Amino acid sequence: MNARQEKYDVIIIGSGAAGLTAALELGQSRKVLVLAKGSLTGGSTAWAQGGIAAVLDAGDTFENHIRDTMIAGAGLNDRETVEFVIEGAPKAIDRLCELGVPFNRESGDLHLTREGGHSHRRIVHVNDATGWAVQEALLNAANANPNITLLPGRSCIDFITGRHAEPYSGSGHVWGVYALDEESGRVEAHVAKATVLAAGGAGRVYQFSTAPRGATGDGIAMGWRAGARVSNMEMMQFHPTCLYNLEVKNFLITEAVRGEGGHLINPRTGKRFMEYYDERLELAPRDIVARAIDAEIKRFGLDFVHLDISHKPPEFVREHFPTIYDKLIGLGIDMTTQPIPVVPAQHYTCGGVVIDLAGRTDLPGLWAAGEVTESGLHGANRLASNSLLECFVFGEAAAKDICQRWDELPDPPAIREWDESRVTDSDEEVVIKQNWTEIRRFMWNYVGIVRTTKRLERAANRIQLLKAEVEDYYGSFRVTTDLVELRNLLQAADLIVRSALKRHESRGLHYTLDYLETDEVPVDTVLVP
């Protein structure tokens, strides 16, 4: 029986840590449909090398972890959210252990590593491929649950709201989603009483990004179009160390290489340079390290800088970073004897759809969790390894809230089928490719690590020109995944630029040469549709 005719209680958009955590909780009592664009493992979770932050060390406290998170977030975090997530961390780790995630251990106890911005060792990990192990464990558990249906190859286009109901309603209530079956090209209406948005971030808006190919801001754009507020989209985190290689795109060199003693070196001078930027040297927070590398690259006209851990014993390096070691050996770089060429790259979307502590969005019937949201946890900069943690805590919170309110949730009305009576197949795919490349390039150059008002205004002008072109194209041709993604990329770029223009200060990840001071009172940038 196809997914169209099946009756589901809850639809979840996204099959990463947040979506599957919600599915496993809901699947105890409800029939759940999980939709994934492309493959079930195509999201960011599977790519997470670092680990999951939790207070598990004898000398560590919740207060320490909260303080580290608030310092990294430059005070823009919501204290209540930070407490909620961090206090939920040990329980989340216990649940993952129960699911069989093989975290590294030392004489029976969990092995904890340390990363930039953390005052203690508190990162549980599976070598340097934590995300993959977590993704695998969650998928295995979801596959084993008869109440959960996993449906890959579905590109979600727009939320189904009261506007698509018979009779029409302007309530803004969400009843599921219209999704493109990537194989057949047909658009399906997936209808349910509750919907959970866990579609990930908007990293591919940028030319250099560690995000997977599908991170095109779909969930944020869909939420905005349906009427949800979006917050702090100017807070885009750039990972300081992405492998610089013209063949291999988006390969991340984990923070932990610096945590375990790696040095950043200017290849022209042969010297370490972090001492000129921050007394914490290589262990400074990511935004400071990324700006330092950006400054060295611009000042010396470099393509990359070197990250060097070859002064450590070879067996130490191979044991700690097996995945990275093997990957680099395949590219002719031996990290036990040679430096690694690295460049900053967009890494994490700190802003997103506004949610409360129960994962509720502004729209009735719609909950959200993970990187697609702005929960108040990260503020102006995400502390390393807090992101997977947010997925587990909010995925569970949203699921529990849905279960508690189940009896009050109204049943869906009759929903109209997708109308494609006025469109034809595209004869100009080149338009999509051209616009995609253009957006990612001007976002990198004008809305990157260091910003100015003039550059932001240039980006805003480009976006206005492209908007008319893309809307015209979208209205005339049958939808494809590429077209859906282009429309969402442009919407995400627009939200980032509008947010950046509204913030007249430098704080955390938003660094502008026109407003170098930080305001006394931190204020979220909230955009209202």
Strand partners, 3: none
> Known catalytic residues?
286
Instruction: Count CB neighbours of 144 within 10 A.
Output: 10
Name the one residue in this structure whose structure tokens are 């200060």: 505
State phi, psi for 348 to the nearest 5 degrees.
Answer: -155, 140
Strands 187-191 and 174-181: antiparallel
- Give the three-state DSSP class for 194: strand
Separation in Å, CA 4 to CA 13, 181, 347: 15, 11, 35
Q: What is the pLDDT of residue 3?
A: 44
Which sign does the torsion angle of CA 190, 191, 192, 198 carry? positive
Per-residue pLDDT of the chain (529 residues; tens, 9 = 90+): 344 456 899 999 999 999 999 999 999 999 999 999 999 999 999 888 778 999 999 899 999 999 999 999 999 999 999 999 999 999 999 999 999 999 999 988 999 988 878 999 999 999 878 999 999 999 999 999 999 999 999 999 999 999 999 889 888 999 999 999 999 999 999 999 999 999 999 999 998 888 888 999 999 999 999 999 999 999 999 989 999 987 776 788 988 899 899 999 999 999 999 999 999 999 987 778 999 998 898 889 898 999 999 999 999 999 999 989 999 999 999 999 999 999 999 999 999 999 999 999 999 999 999 999 999 999 999 998 999 999 999 999 999 999 999 999 999 999 999 988 777 887 777 888 899 999 998 998 899 999 999 999 999 999 999 999 999 888 888 899 999 999 999 999 999 999 999 999 999 999 999 999 999 999 999 999 9
Contacts of 116 (CB under 8 A, 6+ apart): 255, 258, 259, 280, 282, 283, 284, 285, 286, 289, 384
Q: What is the pLDDT of residue 12?
A: 98
Q: What is the pLDDT of residue 2?
A: 41
Classify burial at 307, counting beta carbons within 10 Å of its beta carbon; exposed 0-12, middle 13-18, buried 19 or more: buried
* Relative orientation angle of helices 218-226 and 481-502, to the nearest 10 degrees: 70
Token readout for 14 is 């996204």
Q: What is the pLDDT of residue 6?
A: 66
Instruction: Count CB neighbours of 410 within 10 A.
Output: 10
DSSP for 401-428 reads HHHHHGGGSPPP-EEPPP--TT-B--S-
* Relative orientation angle of helices 62-72 and 79-87, to the nearest 10 degrees: 130
Instruction: Count CB neighbours of 280 within 10 A.
Output: 13
Which sign does the torsion angle of CA 27, 80, 369, 285 carry? negative
Task: From 87, 160, 6, select the one nearest 377 (Cα to Cα).
Answer: 87
Contacts of 208 (CB under 8 A, 6+ apart): 242, 343, 344, 345, 346, 444
CB 284 within 8 A of CB 79: no
pTM of the model as a whole: 0.91
Contacts of 108 (CB under 8 A, 6+ apart): none
Q: What is the pLDDT of residue 288?
A: 87
CB 156 within 8 A of CB 295: no
Radius of gyration for the alpha carbons in the chain, expressed in angstroms and rounded:
22
Buried b (16+ CB within 10 A) or exposed e, 234-246: bbbbbbbbbbbbe
d(CA 181, CA 153): 6
